[in-house]
Structure 1
Amino acid sequence: MPRKLNRKFLVQSCNARYELYAFYNESALRTRQPQLDSSPPPISVPSPRPGKGGNSIVIVIAVAVPITVLFLVCVAVSRVRVKKARTVHETNKDDITTAGSLQFDFKAIEAATDNFSESNKLGQGGFGAVYKGTFPSGVQVAVKRLSKTSGQGEREFENEVIVVAKLQHRNLVKLLGFCLEGEEKILVYEFVPNKSLDYFLFDSTMQSQLDWSRRYKIIGGIARGILYLHQDSRLTIIHRDLKASNILLDAKMSPKVADFGMARIFRMEQTEANTERAVGTYGYMSPEYAMYGHFSMKSDVYSFGVLVLEIISGKKNSSFYQNDGNDGNLVTYTWRLWSNGSPLELVDPSFQDNYQRNEISRCIHIALQCVQEVAEDRSTMSAILQMLTTSSISLAVPRPPGFFLRSRHELVDRAGPSMDSSALCSIDDASITSVTPR
């Protein structure tokens, strides 16, 4: 009898077959007659013959496996990112309610301020009005009610709640709570009875209440508050809006830094950041921040320097050009006096002769170091506080400050008589910057 060996292997997605004859030729299969032999030949099983089908399977596997692995990795990464974003969102959402402050009922605040009456109004800021409030328990508070049309939106509002609630320092205003109902965004602070620094500093009838001794203590208190923000708190915070109106005075005329709506929190290793939207007040803003959006701890140092000059002189930096016929700003005027060897001409006349000359000269020197044009040339707040409290520390000679404006007479004197006095141009060794307020 003829013997025919037929073997088939079935596996998933493939069919392997081998025969003792060329089974792939169907015509030959129909006409082929098996050979008869008295002794059948030994059976030998040939190896499977690879063909195009085998190569295709290998290629499919080689391509499909990496694609599948890559797809699974992408899915896993996507899920991790979504989960992380959701966690961050929920954390930020929870921060405002678990930041260590209380959420007040709007009706309770409305009653405490006598329906936000004008008689309880303490002041008006760029983002809204501040009212005095008294709760039934007798506790007095300052209520900051943000205007519905103000530039401070919900993001800035939440930022101020989260930032301030985590800060505890005697030279920082304390946030007691907040109210967020409908369109109402309200911050509730400790009540500081003596309003803000600008109320006394720039009012000719109130200036006399701030003699040099008190102003010197105010300068030191502000420095301690900023140092806490920059270095001593568990967060590194850049205020970005230091100015006289954001310094509150308590019953003992001790300063408290306020208004953290524009503050930014830095990571542990972060030293600077950029923004396309510079916020703050022109005149207090450092050159690199006003022009390029670069801000850092040295940006606050610049603002502190301008603030010190205002405290010493009793004059606003932004409107100084209108006083006494002087060109430029307070920083420019101070540098001219310093260069001419007469810095004490800056002193507020209300002091009369009741001040320490060496002490006030040193403060002017420190302020000029704070307003240097290049951020790296400015001292840190820790060094500034040491210089304020230790007279034995030597001070570096300051360079021309940022936003130093030369008068026409100075430009003509430097360029010679051939220069047209109506032409104002830049001088190589001076920084001349003109900033137009928005």
Structure 2
Amino acid sequence: MNKKKKLFLRLLHFLVSLASIHETIAVFAIQGPVSSPISSSISASMAAFSPAGIQLGNEGNKRMDPPKKMLMALVIACSSLGVIIFSLFCLWVYCRKTSSKSSKNGAKSSDGEKGNGLAPFLGKFKSMRTVSKEGYASFMDYQILEKATNKFHPGNILGEGGFGCVYKAQFDDGSFAAVKKLDCTGQDAEKEYENEVGLLCRFKHPNVISLLGFSTDNDTRLIVYELMQNGSLETQLHGPSHGLSLTWHRRLKIALDTARGLEYLHEHCNPPVIHRDLKSSNILLDLEFNAKLSDFGLAVTDAAQSKNNLKLSGTLGYVAPEYLLDGKLTDKSDVYAFGVVLLELLLGRKPVEKLAPSQCQSIVTWAMPQLTDRSKLPNIVDPVIRDTMDLKHLYQVAAVAVLCVQPEPSYRPFIADVLHSLIPLVPVELGGTLKLHNLHPLDPTNRLV
């Protein structure tokens, strides 16, 4: 039995005893002393030891008048009742305080249990720390990440960014992850790190990269993501393979997944999020070529209020004209960048290509006159996928791309409209609604993979 229960029982016992004593006194006052051998002996003893024993004995034999008895009984009864009520009130206050304390302790313990339940991934984490009001991210031990990347060996580099590299990490149990290592000696890098971790721990969507954890070591910041086995779309399109693994239907699926990720940011996040750096290198592909958006260091949640303090950022070739020239950033800026990615998928060309040492040409400027000409369009399609698609579908995709890269933002569609335009062009097996009839594995026009 704990101390609180013992104290409660003692207090209750005291109240019961107090009530019985006052009841006995009241009865004694009304009826007078009861004659018994014991009471006689007590009276005799008191008379013997009292200096005025004879007078006490004589007064003890006198009886009080009935009115006085009633008055004394009433006073005793009222005082007894007051003492009991006051004691019960004190007991009630005490119980309320103890119950509130216990409920608070219980709430704290339940919150702790919830926090422990949120710790994902194999118990590698040092502790759980809240990094935003909406979600959690796990703080990972720097030494574990250093070991998993073989001390950030150059052979484990998956990609490079403006403030650091992304490394492949393999843990002792055989699991893998991608670790972005940032040098945060500058203020911009620190802001991007905090911004990305703060946003990613809020996101939960199959077409947005998952955050596994983060870590710090002096000026070094680490962000840990799920590993995407097929790397970036940029590597697949413009790397050594030059898009050989990307069939027509796979490319449409990647476009559809990218549109779904953007639609989640624009329509389902509160407040809405503008990615601000959408490009093929920030679209990652898993083992099944499912696409996920990554790199949210430059993303913003409220461009309307922060545009005055917003530094112009992005990648040449993907930045919308209104943002580049006037600093106006909206969700339509992401739609423009999506249109450029769609042209990359369609044509197999980089967003900006050098014509001479001091002269460059954007894919939009080069392709726009030919995209709207049905006789020229099939000839500029990526040779890897040329003649492998239904021409009707090719024209539809080209029309979507043309709308997305319009110079005037108001002429561009919302990403939700783009998404609905692409769904009928992607086979059911890859997440769309297109049903392929008489599918034959040797027919190049029907290849899913």
User: Same fold judged by TM-score > 0.5?
Assistant: yes
2:343 alignment partner in structure 1: 309
Q: Against the structure 1 CA distance between its residues 150 and 116, is the aligned structure 2 distance closer, same or farther, given a 3 Å change threshold?
A: farther
Letter in 2 for 1:336: P
The one of 285, 302, 312 aligned to 1:266 = 302
Partner Cα distance (1:321, 1:172) in 2:
35
Report what 1:359 is aligned to. Answer: 393
Does residue 171 (structure 1) correspond to residue 207 (structure 2)? The answer is yes
Matches within 5 A, 1:399-438: none
The question of 1:334 aligning with 2:402 is answered: no
CA contact (8 A) 1:192 1:248 kept: yes
Partner in structure 2 of residue 384 of structure 1: 418
Does the 8 Å CA contact 1:282/1:290 hold for their aligned counterparts? Answer: no
CA distance in 2: counterparts of 1:296 and 1:131, whole angstroms: 33
Partner of 2:183: 147
Contact 1:101 1:165 in 2 (8 A): yes
Which residue among 338, 345, 364 is the counterpart of 2:379?
345
**Structure 1 residue 111 and structure 2 residue 144: aligned?**
no
Specify the code of the residue in structure 2 equivalent to 1:347. V
Letter in 1 for 2:166: V
Q: Give distance in 1, aligned partners of 2:373 and 2:397.
A: 17
| TM superposition shift of 1:203 | 2.8
Identity %: 35
- 1:160 to 2:196 alignment: yes
Alignment partner of 1:283 is 2:317: yes
Q: Note the alpha carbon deviations across 1:23-68, whole angstroms, 9 max, x for none.
A: xxxxxxxxxxxxxxxxxxxxxxxxxxxxxxxxxxxxxxxxxxxxxx
> Whole-Å Cα distance in 1 between the matches of residues 305 and 137 of structure 2?
29
Q: Distance in 2 between matches of 1:203 and 1:104?
A: 33
Is there any run of 5+ residues in structure 1 with no aligned partner, and where? 1-92, 392-438
User: Which residue identity lines up with residue 335 of structure 1 in the other structure?
Assistant: M
- Cα separation, partners in 2 of 1:98 and 1:233, compared to 1, 3 Å: closer
Q: Who wins on radius of gyration, i.e. which is larger?
A: 2
Unaligned runs of 5+ in 2: 1-128, 426-449
Please show how residues 207-226 of structure 1 align to structure 2 within 5 Å: 207-226=243-262
Structure 1 CA distance, aligned partners of 2:134 and 2:267?
Answer: 24
1:365/1:151 Cα in 2 relative to 1: closer, same or farther (>3 Å)? farther
Q: Alignment length, in residue pairs?
A: 295
**Aligned residue among 182, 200, 205 for 2:241:** 205
User: What is the TM-score with the length of structure 2 in the denominator?
Assistant: 0.62
Q: Deviations over 1:92-130 (max 9, x none)?
A: x96369841101111111011111112221121222111
Amino acid at match of 1:196: S
Q: Is the 8 A contact 1:120 1:133 kept in 2?
A: yes
Q: What's the TM-score, normalizing by structure 1?
A: 0.63
Q: Return the offset for 1:356.
A: 2.0
Q: Which amino acid aligns with 1:329?
A: S
| Counterpart amino acid of residue 349 in structure 1 | P
CA distance in 1: counterparts of 2:337 and 2:259, whole angstroms: 11
Partner deviation per Cα, 1:57-81 (whole Å, 9 max, x = no partner)? xxxxxxxxxxxxxxxxxxxxxxxxx
Alpha-carbon shift at residue 338 of structure 1 (Å): 3.0
Superposition RMSD on alpha carbons, in Å?
Answer: 2.5
Pick aligned residue for 1:239 from 261, 265, 275: 275
Distance 2:306 2:339 in 1: 19
TM-superposition CA deviations, 1:293-326 (whole Å, max 9, x none): 110100000000011001111111211647xxx9
When structure 1 is superposed on structure 2, of 119-128 and 369-378 the one drifting more is 119-128
Which residue identity is paired with 1:154?
Answer: E
Cα distance in structure 2, aligned partners of 1:149 and 1:343: 48
Q: Note closer, same or farther for the CA distance 1:140–1:331 as it changes in structure 2 (3 Å cut).
A: same
Q: Which residue of 2 aligns with 1:296?
A: 330
Letter in 2 for 1:333: W
